[in-house]
Amino acid sequence: MKLIETRYRQRKQPEPRAAPIPIPPRAGVAPGPGQRGRREEPLPVRPQMCAGPRGAVLRPYQILRREALQCSRTMAGCLHNSEAFNYGVETWEAYKRGGLSKDLIEEQKKVQEADLLIFQFPLFWFSMPAILKGWMDRVLVQGFAYDLSKCYDGGLLQDKLSLFSFTTGGPKEMYSNGGIGGDIRYVLWPMQHGIMHFCGVKVLEPHICYAPENVSEEKRKEMLTGWTQRLKTLWKEEPINCSPEWYFK
């Protein structure tokens, strides 16, 4: 069996930008504090821009959206509909015509060949970090991971398992029914159910290490030992019941 483990650690990797938006050039702006003697050459103003306060350049939102996709590494070629941009539709059309970028095709190939997807990450703002969410947005596109008539138990990535292994900043008590953060299963609903189960992937019980930064070295070693032992018997585990009752009982 093949195993793909996707690790996303903050501060160690730059965050890929699925649709980078160019920063508008500023013309005629005086040097700020600490920049005396530094000259800022005015940059040419491109068409379809209008001057704002103090020489700032404003771009209409529609132009930003169009340029963002054209600069994106997600797909190549022309837009399917440049007048009414829809990211989901554009990636779907790109997938159908084989127009997704090479790196995305490679990631999709890894997913296709994998029996188990392990996502290792630190919980950030009660969700996965943006770098991991960006991977989901770009790789799990319509036509590859799901279709409007093929989702949840009928999703296109059936016969695969997934596991969310993550750390938290707060202690376990914080993520309980009576805790200020609420039951940790509420947090898992959009990630496990809304993404993995939606694509047809079965979900194993999550592996959670609570507040590793705030415990003793001995406790951290116990966490690592527990994770190592679980990995040895992972294939014997049964998936959770992917239903609202598991999350909100």
What pLDDT shows up at residue 2? 55
pLDDT in tens, 75-117: 777 788 878 888 889 999 999 999 999 999 999 999 999 999 9
Q: What is the reported pTM?
A: 0.70
Identify the band that residue 53 occupies on the pLDDT scale cut at 50, 70 and 90: very low
Q: Encoding tokens for residue 48?
A: 């379809």
What pLDDT shows up at residue 87? 87
Q: Are strands 50-51 and 116-122 parallel, antiparallel or unpaired?
A: unpaired
How far is residue 38 from each of residues 30, 33, 42, 100, 175, measured CA to CA in Å?
9, 11, 13, 42, 51
**What is the mean pLDDT of the segment spanning 124-150?**
95
Judge whether residue 58 has pLDDT over 70.
no
User: Greater confidence, 20 or 106?
Assistant: 106
Interacting residues of 69 by C-beta distance below 8 A, sequence separation 6+? 19, 75, 79, 85, 87, 90
Q: Encoding tokens for residue 27?
A: 């013309």
Q: CA-to-CA distance for 144 and 100, rounded, in angstroms? A: 11
Identify the band that residue 72 occupies on the pLDDT scale cut at 50, 70 and 90: low
**What is the mean pLDDT of the segment spanning 154-182?**
95
Judge whether residue 71 has pLDDT over 50.
no
What pLDDT shows up at residue 78? 76
Task: Please tell me the total number of residues recorded for the chain in this structure.
Answer: 249
Interacting residues of 43 by C-beta distance below 8 A, sequence separation 6+? 25, 26, 27
Identify the band that residue 235 occupies on the pLDDT scale cut at 50, 70 and 90: very high
Q: CA-to-CA distance for 110 and 133, rounded, in angstroms? A: 17
Burial grade of 36 (CB within 10 A; 0-12, 13-18, 19 or more)? exposed
Judge whether residue 9 has pLDDT over 50.
no
